[in-house]
Amino acid sequence: MERDIFPVVHGVRGKPFYSVRMRASRHGRHLSGAERLIPASRLAAAVTALLRRGVSSPVQQPDRVILRVDPVAPRLLHPLSALPIQTLKVSSPAQGRLLASRLLQASGVAPRAVRRAMRDLRRGAAGGGQCMRGAMLVDAQSGRRLEADPQRGVRVSRVDWDARVERRLVKRLARYGLTHHRLREALALASKVAAAPGMVAELCWSDDPTYTTGYVSTPRLGYVRIAPLKAEGDPLGGRAFFIRAESLSACVAFLERIPCRIVALGSLTPPRTWRA
């Protein structure tokens, strides 16, 4: 049944797109991962870039890097608009988390669900002080974790920018000095996440100890960057997707399987300061 609804066609005629996924690990422990969805003309460059990124993981030297390439029929690409972007500067990570908590609650996430998800992200959501490879799925009402495997979580893949739209985004972001590739990648991911069935909101801060900006994103508020959302030097981070529990299987199928191409930009609001 699911195969009929979400077909993945191999060996299509014409110019296929490719889903490329990279995973780097050491002694079986996940170090980094990334995914692209690109036309055939950019496949070789994307594979090289992901391989380079995998072998030079910022955390530790990996002992295994896996690259996986799957063709995707262009007719299956689901067009998406990027979420609008705002940046709110705060005076400390504590203020950042207070702001994130307020935004999530204003978007329909119950206070206990916010508290539980933030606690898990703070401690390492995989347990034992470790980060997950993917995202937590959190019931937006009860705060219960819904993902089948709490170490892996749900890994969003098959989303990327149309090249022309990405170039326009890069130019717009540069006006505000926002040049980090993480922002473009996270915005693509968040734009797909916000379009998933049953999605209420997303919360993210990075596991990169040097990258302290995080975000809350929702279909209504858009992509709200919060700087800082964690302390410099903190190696723990992750993502929580707050969902309506009854949409669990449709939501996971969309996030993991449906290929999405971002073909339009949302608005970009100049960075501003937030005070409680």
The site for ligand AMP (CB under 6 A) is made up of 35, 131-132, 134-135, 154-156, 186, 189, 206-208, 237-239
Residue with Cβ nearer ligand AMP (35 or 160): 35
- Taking the C-alpha atoms of residue 205 and residue 209, their distance in angstroms, rounded to an integer, is 10
Nearest CA among 88, 257, 26, 265 for reference residue 158: 257
Angle at 183 between CA 50 and CA 38, to 5 degrees: 40
Q: How far is the CB of 176 from ligand AMP (least distance, A)?
A: 20
Q: How far is the CB of 137 from ligand AMP (least distance, A)?
A: 10
Q: Do residues 56 and 47 lie in contact, with contact meaning Cβ atoms separated by under 8 Å?
A: no
- Taking the C-alpha atoms of residue 59 and residue 31, their distance in angstroms, rounded to an integer, is 7
Residue with Cβ nearer ligand AMP (111 or 149): 149
Q: How far is the CB of 186 from ligand AMP (least distance, A)?
A: 6
Q: Do residues 165 and 264 lie in contact, with contact meaning Cβ atoms separated by under 8 Å?
A: yes
Nearest CA among 24, 230, 235 for reference residue 124: 235
Q: How far is the CB of 14 from ligand AMP (least distance, A)?
A: 27
- Taking the C-alpha atoms of residue 140 and residue 45, their distance in angstroms, rounded to an integer, is 40
Q: Do residues 95 and 88 lie in contact, with contact meaning Cβ atoms separated by under 8 Å?
A: no
Residue with Cβ nearer ligand AMP (113 or 131): 131
Residue with Cβ nearer ligand AMP (24 or 156): 156
- Residue 242 amino acid letter: F
Residue nearest to ligand AMP (CB): 206
Assign residue 136 a region: left if phi > 0, alpha if psi is -120 to 50, beta otherwise?
beta
Block residue for tokens 């262009």: 74
Q: How far is the CB of 208 from ligand AMP (least distance, A)?
A: 5
Q: How far is the CB of 121 from ligand AMP (least distance, A)?
A: 9
φ/ψ of residue 125, rounded to 5: -70, -10
Residue with Cβ nearer ligand AMP (54 or 237): 237
- Taking the C-alpha atoms of residue 117 and residue 236, their distance in angstroms, rounded to an integer, is 13
Q: Do residues 169 and 82 lie in contact, with contact meaning Cβ atoms separated by under 8 Å?
A: yes
Q: How far is the CB of 96 from ligand AMP (least distance, A)?
A: 15
Residue with Cβ nearer ligand AMP (111 or 123): 123
Residue with Cβ nearer ligand AMP (110 or 156): 156
Cα-based torsion angle of the residue sequence 65, 70, 75, 78 in order, rounded to the nearest 10 degrees: -30
Q: How far is the CB of 15 from ligand AMP (least distance, A)?
A: 25
Length of the chain: 276
Residue with Cβ nearer ligand AMP (114 or 131): 131
